[in-house]
Structure 1
Amino acid sequence: MRRVLFTERISDDRNEKSDSIESQHDKLSRRAETEGVTVVGTAVDLSVSGDVDPFQRKSLGPWLADENLSKWDELWVSTQDRLSRDNKHFLLFVFWAIEHNKIVQVMDDPGFNEQMHTETGLLLLHAKALGPAMELKRIKVRTKDSHERRRFTTRWTGGIPPFGYRPVARYVDGKTATYLEQDPAMVKVLQEMRRQILAGQSFFSVAKALNEKGERTARDRARIRKGKPVHRRGAAEGVPEQWSETTIKSLLSDPALLGSKKHKGEVLYDSQGQPVRVADPIFTDDEWQALQAAVEARTRTTVRRVNGTSPLYGVVYCGECGSKAVHKSSFHNPSGVTYRYYGCGNWPKENRCRGISVRAEEPEAWVEVSFLHRYGENPVTERVWVPGSDNTKELDGVRKRISRLRNLYVEGEFDDSPKEYKDRMHALRARDTELAAEPVVEGRWTEKETGQTFMELWEGLDLDGKRKQLIASGYKILIGSKTFHITPEPLPWSEWVERRRRQGAPEEEIASMARALEMVMGTTPWPCNGSAMADDVQSEAPVTPAVPMKATDSH
C-alpha cells in the first residue's frame, strides 16, 4: 500500500497570490481517492513564507526527520512553489528525496518525479525553481515598496498599538485601511499616571497601583482584542503581564503618546521636518513638557521608599555616619508591648557608627508638631510647569536627515527623481533655518497657590504622603544616642505667637495650641529640640523635593 504525506503551505504575505489551504487540500484529496492511496498525515504550514527551508517548517520539518521517514513513502504537493520558493532550498530538498528514495508528486506537474532521476530532468527542475524564486523576489520588492509608501502616511501599518490607542478599520479612498484612535479608558489611565508622577509618586508606586487595579498592558489588550488569552512571558497562558518601574518610565517618555509614528524605535518625520502623526496626541504640548520634567526629576530622586521601611524613611538619618535610618520593632513578651525604634541603617558595616537608636514615637510626634507649628497656616502651593522653547533636539534631527538624504543622493537613489530630492532637501534646509533662528528658552517650575493650608492638607494625607511632604519641605532628623535633632529648627514660640496675632488669630486658638504642644511634648513650648548631640555633627543638604508642594515660611 502506498503511504502518502500531504504537504500544504500558505504564506503570510498578503501580496502573494496563492491557493488557499482548502483549495490545496481538495486537489490532493481528490487525487488520493482516484489512486486509492493511504494518507498517513497532512503537514499544514500556515503563515509560512516561501523562502523558509522545508526542513525548518513547523509542520513539515518533523516529517522529514530521521525518526519519521519510515512512516511515509510519497510526498504530495499541489504546486511546486507550495514546497518552496527558494531555488537553493528546493534543490537541496530534491537531492535529499533522491538520497532517501522518496517519491515527490506535484499535482500540476505529472512528470516531476521522473525528472528527479535524470540529469536532463534535474536541469529542467532547476530552471523551474528559478521562476518561483524570481517571483518571491518580486513579492518582497512589492511588499517593501508598499511598506515604504505607507510608512509616512497616517495609516497604522500593524503591530501592537501604543498604550492609549486602539486600531480601527476605516474606508478611505475606496479602500479599507487601519488607523489609530484614542481609547477613552486607556487615556483616563494615562492622565491619572501623569497626575501621580507630577504629585511626586514613584514609578514603583504607580506600577503597583496599576497591578492592584488589574489594568492590562498594551500587549495584553492587543491579545484580548484578537480573542487570545493574556500571557506573561515565562508564565502560563491566562497570567497577565505586570507593570514595572521600567515600563512606567518608558511609557510616559514615549513620543507615541503625542500620536507620533515611529519606525525602529525612532520618530518618523515628513519632508517638512515635522513628526508624522497617526493619531491625536494624548497630552497637550504643555502637559507633555511638564510630564517629561517630572519624569526626569523622578529619575534623579535618590530617596525612595520600599515596602516595609520606616514611616519616616528619607527623613531620619544617623547623626554619626549620615546613613539613612531604618525602622525597627521589638516585641516585649512579658508586657505584650511592641517597641519601635529608629536606628542606623548602615551599622555595623560602618565602623564610624556605634549602632545608635531612638524610640520611634518621639521624633515622629515632634516632627509633625514642628511642621504644623511652622507651616500649618501657610497656603499650599503646587509646582506648575512653565513651558520653554528648546528646538535643539529637533534641529539636530533635521540636520541628520539632511546628511542621510545627501548620502542617498550620492548613492544614486534619486537618479530617476531628481526633483523629489531637490524638494525634500529644500524643505529640510528651510526647516533648519527656521529652527536655528528660534531662541532657546528653558522651561521652569513655578509655585501656584491651591487655596488650601498645610493644616488642611496634612489632615488628608496618609502616612506615606506625610513622609513625602516632610522630604519636600526639607525636613531632616538626625538621631543620636537616645536623642534626636530636627532640621529646620522648630519655630520659636514667641515668633509663632506674633505671626498668628498678625494674621488675626484669636487668643483662644493660641492657648489651645500651647496646650496641644504640652500634651505632645510633656513640657511647655519649646524645649531644647530633643537633642543632646555634639555640635560638630554635620547635617547633609536637604533632599531635592520629589513632590510638587513645598512648605515655605510666610510672615
Structure 2
Amino acid sequence: MERISDDRNEKSDSIESQDQKLRRQVESEGVTVVGTAVDLSVSGDVDPFQRKALGPWLTEENLPKWDELWVTTQDRLSRDDRHVFRFVDWCLDQDKKVIILDDPDFNKNMHSPEGRVMIHIRAMGPARELLRIKERTKDSHERRRFTARWTGGIPPFGYVPVSRFVDGKTVTYLEQDPDMVKVLHYMREQILDGQSFFAVAKALNEMGEHTARDRARIRKGKPVHRRGAEEGVPEQWSETTVKSLLRDPALLGQKKHKGEVLYDSQGRPVMVAEPVFTDDEWQSLQAAVEARVQTKVRRVNGTSPLYGVVWCGVCGQKAAHKGSIHKGYEYRYYVCGAWPKENRCRGVSIRAEEVEGWVEIYFLERYGNQPVTERVWVPGTDRTKELTDVKSRITRLRRDSVAGLWDDAQDEFRNLMHSLMTRRDELAAEPVVIGRWQEKLTGRTFQELWAVLDLEGKRQQLIKSGYRVEVGRKSFKVTPEPESVAEALERLRSEGADTEALAEVTEALRQSGALTEE
C-alpha cells in the first residue's frame, strides 16, 4: 500500500520511491503481489477505510483476496494514532498481517499487549507532526485571509487561480476567466429578459458549460464527475446552482470566509479579484433575481408561443399551451394553467391559432400607435449591510478590549477602533436610495416594431411592455387598457423618460397623424 499527501508541509517518500522499496523487498522474499493500493494526494488524517484506493481492499468482498498488507513506514498507514490503533485491532480480528519495512517487528508487536503499546507510542510521533502541520496551515491561512491572495479551494465560477512569484515565493491569486465571464453575462441577460432559473440551467446544460467544480477538476487533469455517477459524467446545472451563483458577492471580486464576505480594518470588503459585473449591472441583476425568487408563478417545461402573455380569463392564472395530434393533424389549445391541476378552471379551452391571430389583429388595432418602451434599471445605493457589519466589528472589538485581549497593544487597538468608527460614520451618512426599474422609450411604435419581429420576439416584447391577454370561452381582453398617445407621452415624461427620445417619438407620431395638435 502506498500513500502520499499533497500537503507541502508533509515530508515523505514519493510514490515512486515507496513503490521501488516495496517491490525490491517482495522480490527478495518471493511473495505474490495480488494488488497495489496507491492513494495520491490523500492526507495522513484520512481513515484507511475511507480511502479511495485502499478502502475497497478492506471490504468483506475483497478480504479473501489477500493475507498481508505491506507499507514502507508506519505513517503511510495513517498519521492519526487513533486510526492506527483501530486498524491494528481490525487486522487482528481478520487474521491479517501488516508488514512495515522500517519496522520488521511491527506484525509481531500486534499480537502482544506490550507490543501494541510500542505501536501506539510510535504512532504518537506522526500524530504530533500532523497536528503541527495543521497548525502551520491554519496560521498560514489566517495570515493570508485578509490579503488579496487566494488561500485555496475551488474558485468561484468566473475565476481561475494563477501563480505568481512575489518576494521570493510562489503565491496564488485569482484572475477572471474570459470564457466563464462571458457565460455569466449571458446568464444575467437571460434573467433580465424574464427567463427562469430552470430555463437558464437547462440552456447551460445544453450548451455543455461545465460547473466551477468540474472546471477545477479539468485544470488538475482529472475527469469531470457528477456525484452518484461514473467518472467522466459532468455535473449538471440546476435551478438552485444558478440562483446561488447569481446572488454570490464573489462575482464582485469580494473575498469570503465560511460563506460570509470579509471586511478589512476600514470596514470595506476585502477584494481578491476584479469584479465580473459593474455596480449597475450587479444591482439590476439582484433586482431581477429577487423578483424571480418572489414570484409564485410556476414555470412549465417547454415555452409556449405566447407563454407569459396569455392568461385564464376566469381565475387569472397563467394559461398553459397544450397540443395533440389526431389523424395526422396537430391541434393546439390554451387552457387554464393553474397548479396543481385540480385547481384548473374546467372547460376553459381556446384554439391556439385563434388566440394568436387575435393578438396579432386586435392588439395592433388598439395599441399599434403606442410608443414601445423597455425597462431599464436605475441603480440605487444601500450600504445597510456593510454598516451593520462594521457596527458588529466595533462591538466585538470593545468586548475584546474589556476582556483584556488588547492590553499589550493599545496603540493598535485605538487605530483600529478609529478606522472602524470613521467608516461607520461615512456609511451612516450615505442616503439609502432604492434602485428601481424605469420605462425607456425605444423610438418606435408597436406598428413599426411588429414587422421585424418573429413570434418569439413579439412574445418577449409584450412581456417587457407589461401587456397580458385574458381569454375565456367567449372572452378576449388585453390589459392594461390603451392610453391615448398624448396620455402615454405625458405619463412617460412625468416618469423621467429620456427627453431626446421622447421628442423623437412625439415628432414621428405627429407626422404620421397619430398625434394631433389640440
TM-score by length of 2: 0.81
**Residue aligning to 1:27:** 21
Does 184-193 or 297-306 show the bigger shift?
Answer: 297-306
In the TM superposition, 1:385-534 aligns within 5 A as: 385-405=377-397, 421-489=413-481, 503-505=510-512
What amino acid sits opposite 1:192 in the alignment? Y
In 1, the alpha carbon distance for the partners of 2:77 and 2:325 equals: 75
Matched, 1:306 2:306: no
Identical counterparts, % of pairs: 70
Pairwise CA distance, 1:226: 2.6
Q: 2:347 aligns with which of 338, 346, 355?
A: 355
SS at match of 1:176: strand
**Residue aligning to 2:140:** 146
In 1, the alpha carbon distance for the partners of 2:238 and 2:295 equals: 17
**Residue aligning to 1:231:** 225
Pairwise CA distance, 1:301: 3.9
In 2, the alpha carbon distance for the partners of 1:250 and 1:425 equals: 34
What amino acid sits opposite 1:265 in the alignment? G
In 2, the alpha carbon distance for the partners of 1:129 and 1:346 equals: 66
Contact 1:309–1:326, Cα closer than 8 Å, also in 2: no
Are the structure 2 counterparts of residues 482 and 412 from structure 1 closer, same or farther at C-alpha, using a change threshold of 3 Å? Answer: same
Pairwise CA distance, 1:255: 0.9
Contact 1:358–1:484, Cα closer than 8 Å, also in 2: no
Are the structure 2 counterparts of residues 245 and 46 from structure 1 closer, same or farther at C-alpha, using a change threshold of 3 Å? Answer: closer
What amino acid sits opposite 2:240 in the alignment? T
**Residue aligning to 1:270:** 264
Does 98-107 or 461-470 show the bigger shift?
Answer: 98-107
Pairwise CA distance, 1:163: 2.0
Contact 1:370–1:490, Cα closer than 8 Å, also in 2: no
Deviation per CA, 1:372-429: give whole Å up to 9, x if none.
3444344433322222221111112223334445566677766776665554444333
**Residue aligning to 1:249:** 243
In 2, the alpha carbon distance for the partners of 1:106 and 1:344 equals: 74
In the TM superposition, 1:54-453 aligns within 5 A as: 54-61=48-55, 63=57, 75-95=69-89, 104-112=98-106, 121-302=115-296, 306-307=300-301, 310-328=304-322, 340-345=332-337, 349=342, 355-405=347-397, 421-453=413-445
Contact 1:305–1:313, Cα closer than 8 Å, also in 2: no
Contact 1:321–1:350, Cα closer than 8 Å, also in 2: no
SS at match of 1:504: helix
Pairwise CA distance, 1:148: 1.7
Are the structure 2 counterparts of residues 203 and 96 from structure 1 closer, same or farther at C-alpha, using a change threshold of 3 Å? Answer: closer
Does 430-439 or 96-105 show the bigger shift?
Answer: 96-105
Pairwise CA distance, 1:124: 4.1
Deviation per CA, 1:99-139: give whole Å up to 9, x if none.
66665554334555555566655544443332222112111
Contact 1:77–1:106, Cα closer than 8 Å, also in 2: yes
What amino acid sits opposite 1:144 in the alignment? K
What amino acid sits opposite 2:357 in the alignment? A
Pairwise CA distance, 1:177: 2.2
**Residue aligning to 1:513:** none
Pairwise CA distance, 1:227: 2.8
SS at match of 1:158: coil
Are the structure 2 counterparts of residues 205 and 376 from structure 1 closer, same or farther at C-alpha, using a change threshold of 3 Å? Answer: farther
SS at match of 2:152: coil
In 2, the alpha carbon distance for the partners of 1:471 and 1:358 equals: 21
SS at match of 1:295: helix
Contact 2:313–2:475, Cα closer than 8 Å, also in 1: no
**Residue aligning to 2:495:** none
Are the structure 2 counterparts of residues 435 and 502 from structure 1 closer, same or farther at C-alpha, using a change threshold of 3 Å? Answer: closer
Are the structure 2 counterparts of residues 52 and 414 from structure 1 closer, same or farther at C-alpha, using a change threshold of 3 Å? Answer: farther
What amino acid sits opposite 1:449 in the alignment? L
Does 7-16 or 271-280 show the bigger shift?
Answer: 7-16
Does 44-53 or 184-193 show the bigger shift?
Answer: 44-53
Deviation per CA, 1:162-203: give whole Å up to 9, x if none.
222222222122122222111222222222332333233333
Pairwise CA distance, 1:321: 3.9
In 1, the alpha carbon distance for the partners of 2:20 and 2:330 equals: 79
Unaligned stretches of 5+ residues in structure 1: 1-6, 511-553
SS at match of 1:230: coil
In 1, the alpha carbon distance for the partners of 2:305 and 2:86 equals: 70
Pairwise CA distance, 1:140: 1.2
SS at match of 2:425: helix
Pairwise CA distance, 1:238: 3.6
Contact 1:10–1:49, Cα closer than 8 Å, also in 2: yes
Are the structure 2 counterparts of residues 57 and 216 from structure 1 closer, same or farther at C-alpha, using a change threshold of 3 Å? Answer: closer
What amino acid sits opposite 1:19 in the alignment? D
Are the structure 2 counterparts of residues 361 and 85 from structure 1 closer, same or farther at C-alpha, using a change threshold of 3 Å? Answer: closer
What amino acid sits opposite 1:505 in the alignment? S
SS at match of 2:511: coil
In 2, the alpha carbon distance for the partners of 1:135 and 1:147 equals: 18
What amino acid sits opposite 2:511 in the alignment? G
What amino acid sits opposite 1:467 in the alignment? R
What amino acid sits opposite 1:429 in the alignment? M
In 2, the alpha carbon distance for the partners of 1:378 and 1:391 equals: 39
SS at match of 1:380: strand
Contact 2:375–2:464, Cα closer than 8 Å, also in 1: no
Are the structure 2 counterparts of residues 414 and 341 from structure 1 closer, same or farther at C-alpha, using a change threshold of 3 Å? Answer: same
Contact 1:357–1:482, Cα closer than 8 Å, also in 2: no
Q: How many residues get paired?
A: 497
In 2, the alpha carbon distance for the partners of 1:67 and 1:475 equals: 66
Deviation per CA, 1:406-455: give whole Å up to 9, x if none.
56667776677666555444433332232122222222223333334333
Does 148-157 or 336-345 show the bigger shift?
Answer: 336-345
In 2, the alpha carbon distance for the partners of 1:245 and 1:89 equals: 40
Pairwise CA distance, 1:98: 5.8
Are the structure 2 counterparts of residues 191 and 56 from structure 1 closer, same or farther at C-alpha, using a change threshold of 3 Å? Answer: closer
In 2, the alpha carbon distance for the partners of 1:108 and 1:308 equals: 66
Pairwise CA distance, 1:141: 0.8
